[in-house]
Amino acid sequence: MRELANSASNWIVPLLILGIPLYAYAVKRVRVYESFIEGAKEGFTIGVRIMPYLVAILVAIGMFRASGAMDWLVWVIRPVVSWAGFPPEALPSSLMRSLSGSAAFAMSSEIFKVNGPDSFIGRLVSVIQGSTETTFYVMAVYFGAVAVRKTRYTLAASLITDVSGIVAAYVICRLLF
């Protein structure tokens, strides 16, 4: 399955890069080279535009991680989730997922090492990490790209979505494993 997924992503992009211009040129008579350059022009400006947004959010997250404040968050939430039967070992990496993908993956690896990837906790962590996203990064990049500062209810809705992903992961793991 993994090989399939990997080779699929190796094939799809090159095929798109050949297929789209080929169709455009042969069928629609598009000046493909000029068209490509025209679109590509924006690339750098967008990169520069998202910089302040990324710095703002990554600095806050970096400070938060380095300070060990995560322990407090875990300490506050822990009683609630233990009451529901959710293994507390899986909590820190799940909470970290919305903030930093690489940190969450590192914490998951640690859990795999300690509890084993085929333990209930290992499977639960796998499902959680696969079904949640680095919400803060996505928001910074996408809203930064269009310089929208007021994101209204996006963060609230995204965090509710993240929590629902964790809950759904827990429920399905209880049913499956």
Partner 1 sequence: MNIVWLLLIGAAVISGAVKGHMADVSNAMFSSATTAIELAIGLVGGMTLFLGLMRVADDAGLVKLLARALRPVFRVLFPDVPRDHPALGAIAMNFGANMLGLGDAATPFGIKAMEELQTLNPDKESATDAMCMFVTLHSSSLQIIPVMVISLRAAAGSKNPSETIVGTIFATAMSMIVAIVVSRLFARWFALRKKAGAA
Sole binder of partner 1 in the list 7, 15, 20, 88 (CB under 8 A): 20
In angstroms, what is the minimal distance from the CB of 25 to partner 1? Answer: 8
Question: Quick check: 7 binds partner 1 (CB under 8 A)?
Answer: no
By CB under 8 A, how many residues form the interface with partner 1? 101
Q: Which residue has the tokens 């989730």?
A: 81
Sole binder of partner 1 in the list 78, 87, 120, 131 (CB under 8 A): 131
Sole binder of partner 1 in the list 7, 15, 47, 80 (CB under 8 A): 47
Q: Which two tokens stand for residue 107?
A: 């914490």
Question: Quick check: 151 binds partner 1 (CB under 8 A)?
Answer: yes
Report the run of H or E that residue 39 belongs to, with start and end: helix 32-40
In angstroms, what is the minimal distance from the CB of 50 to partner 1? Answer: 5
Sole binder of partner 1 in the list 7, 15, 80, 109 (CB under 8 A): 109
Question: Quick check: 98 binds partner 1 (CB under 8 A)?
Answer: yes
Closest CA to 91 of 111, 110, 109, 74: 74
What is the distance between the alpha carbons of residues 136 and 79, in angstroms, rounded to a whole number? 26
Q: Which two tokens stand for residue 174?
A: 């209880």
Question: Quick check: 15 binds partner 1 (CB under 8 A)?
Answer: no
Q: Which two tokens stand for residue 94?
A: 């799940």
Count the neighbouring beta carbons within 10 Å of the beta carbon of residue 70: 18
Sole binder of partner 1 in the list 7, 63, 80, 88 (CB under 8 A): 63
Question: Quick check: 107 binds partner 1 (CB under 8 A)?
Answer: no
Q: Which two tokens stand for residue 120?
A: 């209930």
